[in-house]
């Protein structure tokens, strides 16, 4: 056959192929009906796999072994494979004029990591499970004075020392002891970050940090700017609290331990991460204007069980008109630390399926802190129950900050009035005790703000490649000093440290911006519910316990799940469509005036010494 004939045949073949391709492309053009079928099938598939993944993760965190770690990895990998496949296929329907619900579902489907390489997907799931397990198994094994081995200490044991001890050397030992555990899984985290970024880039995001910031109904850069705006709004209140705390710690430990200016050693704040300072209240307590009431002592004296603690929280929600918890909650939750095995004791709430299998995993002790925490965790549970009638893709909070804010909103109603009504306080404190109550709450709600902001600010730089593994600790402590005003108890040694990994949410790769947003949203929600209840007094004295009208307002928003952009859902409960620190500032306004006066007096006294 001549070259000319061959060339002609090849040309005809190319034309035919082009025509067939054009025909196929035309025939394959997506339709609205096809998109709706795709979404329905995707939700059915993901719902089943998510339930399986939840059960696997529950077993993995409650029975920490190599086998359960493998089970967790297996089910997480299956979900990742399906969600990645669905996310890629969802792109086909971008640009179609779908109804608002379907358009939102299509967008939510694409906020996902995608791994086209099965080995990488499996490695990603395995490393996530392994880091969570390593965190849960971490222990510090000190030495006795004679050099012999002392009993090893789990994180909870070390936290008790940090909470109660006033020996700076012991505090430093506990702090360093726990932070020495995380370098063992630093390389695993480095590899995990690289894998995660691959999954984000396959979905069209610059990196995993950009993917996370895209989940707030605004562009990633706009969200980062919004976080900074909110921080600047509340920073003066934090600065006043930090300054007051410095002066009181200086009185307690002396000028050789606590400097007059600059960052304060991190181990002195009564918390492993310096994120809440509630355990410092005995040191910071006002000389006048404070109650001697101690909820922890009351709970301990009454031998309050873990189930009793959860019962108090349940009755708060039912007082608002919400349902009782399902019987399976009490049968399947883990409420106390087992004696025979390691578990991840970090408190968490779990929706195992779309019906009513909801659970708590928490090692509850009869303390004021855990009393607040269980009210918080049941906030998640009642959110799960409220939106469980929604389609799978809408069974979530309006944004992750909403989910964290619900239980904290309820916890703001743990006032003297509430405690008296439930029989935990005989007589309410005197009227001048408000400053003490506000100060104690600020040690949790205000102290955590810069920590909650900067954890993800650090991770955004890690995922974005700005912070390299050798600089993990350097970057972490630059942010700690800049935003929190705290410093490492000892100098950074080399480039192998991984202090960030000593925080559960880093080891488990749980985004943390949600807690910053929640800390602001809860005060907006609280103010809105108090107004709905007809309350007109100082915001910090309001409790909505027993108010069905406020409960109905809250339940309406909870039932929306993630079906609407969060500004619409915020407006449904508060009348406002923007997150704002104004309610928090209003709540703590009397405390801010008091702190400023105390700091003025302390500064004058220090000046007089010179």
DSSP string, 14-27: HHHHHHHHHHHHHH
Contact 85, 121 (CB under 8 A): no
Residue 437's nearest CA partner among 525, 523, 540 is: 540
Residue 114's nearest CA partner among 218, 217, 211, 221 is: 211
Q: Rounded to 5 degrees, what angle do the CA atoms 246, 252, 255 make?
A: 65
Token pair for 237 = 């209140």
Q: What are residue 543's phi and psi, to 5 degrees?
A: -130, 130
Residue 161's nearest CA partner among 271, 295, 280, 245 is: 271
Contact 122, 56 (CB under 8 A): no
Contact 159, 169 (CB under 8 A): no
Token pair for 417 = 């009035």
Residue 440's nearest CA partner among 236, 293, 329 is: 293
Q: Rounded to 5 degrees, what angle do the CA atoms 102, 107, 111 make?
A: 145
Helices and strands (H, E) in the chain, number of each type: 26, 6
Beta bridge partners of residue 349, listed in sequence order = 360
For residues 379 and 401, give the distance between their C-alpha atoms in angstroms, rounded to a whole number.
Answer: 12
What's the burial of 396, exposed, middle or buried (CB within 10 Å: 0-12/13-18/19+)?
A: buried
Beta bridge partners of residue 265, listed in sequence order = 487
**Number of C-alpha atoms within 13 angstroms, CB side, residue 418?**
24
Q: What are residue 154's phi and psi, to 5 degrees?
A: -80, 170
For residues 66 and 296, give the distance between their C-alpha atoms in angstroms, rounded to a whole number.
Answer: 37
What is the pTM (predicted TM-score) of this model?
0.87
DSSP string, 526-551: HHHHHHHTT--S-GGG---TT-HHHH
For residues 140 and 162, give the distance between their C-alpha atoms in angstroms, rounded to a whole number.
Answer: 14
Token pair for 405 = 């804010």
Low-confidence ranges of the chain (pLDDT < 70): 1-27
Token look-up 């695993």 returns: 188
Predicted pLDDT at 10: 30
Token pair for 555 = 């339940």
Predicted pLDDT at 21: 42
For residues 558 and 577, give the distance between their C-alpha atoms in angstroms, rounded to a whole number.
Answer: 16
Token look-up 């302390």 returns: 602
For residues 338 and 583, give the distance between their C-alpha atoms in angstroms, rounded to a whole number.
Answer: 41
Mapped to the 3 state alphabet, what secondary structure does 241-295 carry? Answer: HHHHHHHHHHHHHCCCCCCCCCCEEHHHHCCCCCCCCHHHHHHHCCCCCCCCCCH
């Amino acid at each position: 056959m001549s070259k000319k004939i061959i060339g002609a045949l090849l040309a005809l073949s190319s034309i035919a192929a082009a025509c067939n391709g054009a025909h196929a492309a035309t025939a394959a053009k997506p339709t609205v009906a096809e998109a709706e079928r795709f979404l329905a099938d995707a939700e059915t598939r993901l719902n089943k796999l998510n339930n399986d993944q939840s059960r696997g993760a529950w077993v993995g965190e409650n029975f920490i072994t190599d086998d359960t770690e493998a089970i967790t990895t297996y089910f997480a990998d299956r979900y990742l494979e399906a969600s990645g496949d669905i996310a890629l296929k969802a792109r086909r329907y971008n640009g179609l004029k779908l109804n608002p619900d379907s358009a939102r579902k299509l967008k939510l489907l694409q906020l996902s990591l995608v791994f086209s390489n099965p080995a990488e997907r499996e490695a990603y799931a395995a490393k996530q499970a392994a880091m969570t397990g390593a965190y849960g198994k971490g222990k510090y094994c000190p030495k006795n004075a004679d050099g012999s081995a002392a009993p090893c200490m789990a994180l909870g044991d070390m936290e008790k020392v940090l909470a109660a001890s006033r020996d700076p050397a012991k505090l430093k030992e506990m702090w360093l002891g726990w932070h020495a555990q995380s370098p063992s899984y630093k390389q695993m985290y480095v590899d995990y970050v690289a894998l995660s970024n691959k999954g984000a880039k396959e979905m069209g995001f610059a990196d995993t940090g950009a993917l996370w910031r895209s989940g707030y109904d605004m562009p990633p850069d706009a969200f980062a700017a919004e976080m900074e705006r909110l921080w600047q709004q509340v920073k003066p209140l934090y600065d006043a609290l930090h300054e007051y705390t410095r002066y009181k710690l200086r009185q307690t430990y002396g000028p050789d331990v606590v400097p007059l200016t600059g960052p304060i050693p991190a181990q002195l704040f009564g918390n492993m991460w310096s994120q809440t300072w509630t355990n410092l209240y005995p040191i910071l307590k006002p000389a006048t204007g404070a109650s001697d009431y101690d909820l922890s002592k009351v709970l301990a004296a009454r031998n309050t069980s873990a189930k009793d603690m959860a019962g108090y929280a349940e009755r708060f929600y039912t007082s608002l008109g919400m349902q009782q918890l399902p019987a399976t909650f009490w049968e399947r939750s883990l409420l106390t630390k087992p004696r025979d095995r390691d578990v991840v004791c970090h408190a968490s709430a779990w929706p195992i399926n779309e019906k009513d299998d909801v659970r708590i995993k928490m090692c509850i002790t009869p303390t004021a802190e855990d009393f607040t925490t269980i009210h918080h965790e049941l906030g998640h549970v009642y959110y799960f129950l409220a939106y469980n009638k929604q389609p799978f893709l809408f069974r979530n909070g309006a944004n992750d900050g909403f989910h964290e804010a619900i239980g904290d909103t309820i916890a703001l109603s743990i006032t003297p009035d509430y405690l008296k009504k439930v029989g935990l306080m005989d007589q309410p404190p005197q009227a001048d005790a408000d400053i003490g109550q506000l100060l104690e709450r600020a040690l949790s709600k205000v102290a955590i703000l810069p920590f909650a902001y900067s954890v993800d600010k650090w991770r955004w730089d890690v995922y974005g490649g700005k912070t390299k593994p050798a600089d993990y600790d350097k970057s972490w402590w630059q942010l700690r000093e800049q935003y929190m005003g705290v410093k490492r108890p000892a100098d950074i040694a080399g480039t192998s440290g991984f202090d960030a990994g000593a925080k559960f949410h880093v080891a488990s790769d749980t985004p943390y911006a949600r807690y910053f947003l929640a800390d602001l949203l809860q005060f907006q929600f609280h103010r809105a519910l108090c107004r709905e209840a007809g309350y007109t007094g100082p915001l910090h004295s309001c409790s909505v316990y027993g108010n069905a009208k406020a409960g109905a307002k809250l339940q309406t928003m909870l039932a929306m799940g993630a079906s609407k952009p969060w500004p619409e859902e915020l407006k449904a409960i508060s009348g406002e469509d923007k997150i704002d620190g104004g309610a928090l500032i209003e709540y703590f306004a009397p405390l801010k005036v008091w702190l400023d006066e105390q700091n003025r007096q302390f500064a004058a006294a220090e000046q007089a010494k010179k």
